[in-house]
A and B are shown apart, each in its own frame.
Chain A
Amino acid sequence: MEYFTIIFSAIFVNNIVLSRFLGICPFLGVSTRVSTAAGMSGAVLFVMTLAAVVTYFIQKYLLIPCDIEYLQTIAFILVIATLVQTVEIVLKKVSPALYQALGIFLPLITTNCAILGVALLVIKNNYDLLQTVVFAAANALGFGLALILFAGIREQLDLYEIPASMKGAPIALITAGLMALAFMGFSGIV
């Protein structure tokens, strides 16, 4: 039940994009086609879970014992940047097919604040290891859900006539606002 609460809350109630405002750059940047949105979601699912677990260990076995928690930001961003590079190299060698699908999204993920954000939220919420994995994966699924739905709407939006000053970012933001409004319907459930 406890895990169900974490999952439901991360995907619907406190959706990482629409309610916590993390990962807005890829949300606006790679949401013009459903296929690229799906690729990005896969890469985020993979890296976010891995990064949350690795930073959990860094915090627990390195930063706290050495009493250097104030170096958290520097340590985490370095670990995430290295991790993304490693994943890219390993994936290229081990599974070229998967690399083909996710490869171009991996460098973009380093500066995706959702990854660092989830790592920091895990520490803030005092989760244990299993909760960390569940929380990170659920947040990644929430990101994927929002991104793919949004890409679907934007594909349709391309077909309509829009005033010149509303084209591009403004109409995308207003669409995202309406989606956030729809997701607010879930609040109060958990």
Chain B
Amino acid sequence: MNKIIKEFNKGIIKENPIFVLLLGMCPTLGVTGTAANGLGMGLATMAVLIGSNIVISILKRVIPAKVRIPAFIIIIASFVTVIDLSLNAYFPVLYEKLGIFIPLIVVNCLILGRAEGYASKNSLFMSIIDAAGMGCGFTIALTLLGSFREILGSGSFFSMQFVPEGSPTFLFFVLPGGAFIALGILIALFNKMQQLSRE
């Protein structure tokens, strides 16, 4: 039981995909203009990650070592297609907002990284735990960054406006330059917290 909790937790803090491993930066910066978009992207990526980790863990003895990377990529691409079509059918607004970044989940290094580094070596159950932990870490980081940018940039949180209409906000944080700087600040804060908790 302890091992399960440890594997799950590592994705959230110790090996957080965004704040520590710096994987999957493109969607992180591209779709986090609002908290809702960040959450949606995080959940979509988590779904693909769990699906691909399950299939790869089951097939790990069947896939020949020499062609494992192309095989992993096809498995991941199939799950991305499933997510792409489902989002289009059930969440058209979110689908419009995320746009090109949905097919691009396929080249998210986080997913291939977990396939190669974890699912192809570990049992089915542990692979699911690992994918869920990493997916949660990714989703939390994206939602945090989205909230940070939305609160400062448009004065709202999950589209709930809390500053009066027309009052000035830091519009800068919604723009591309603000995305880089907001993420830089968050990673620096995360490093500082890690440093303080060690002392």
Contact = CB atoms under 8 A, between A and B. Distances in A.
Q: Decide whether A and B are members of one complex.
A: yes
Interface of A: 18-25, 28, 70-74, 76-78, 81, 110-113, 116-117, 120-121, 124, 164-166, 169-174, 176-181, 184
Instruction: Report the interface size class on chain B.
Output: 35 or more
Nearest 8 pairs of A and B residues by beta carbon:
A177-B180, A173-B184, A177-B181, A21-B30, A180-B177, A181-B177, A24-B25, A170-B188
Given A110-B107, A166-B191, 20 more contacts: A21-B29, A21-B179, A22-B30, A25-B109, A73-B106, A74-B81, A77-B77, A77-B107, A78-B73, A78-B77, A81-B70, A165-B188, A165-B189, A165-B195, A166-B188, A169-B22, A170-B188, A170-B191, A171-B184, A181-B172
B78 A113 contact: no
B15 to A, nearest CB: 15
A171 B22 CA distance: 14
A177 B178 contact: yes
A14 B22 CA distance: 24
A127 to B, nearest CB: 15
B92 interface: no
Given A73-B103, A74-B77, A77-B77, A180 B176 contact: yes
A28 B176 contact: no
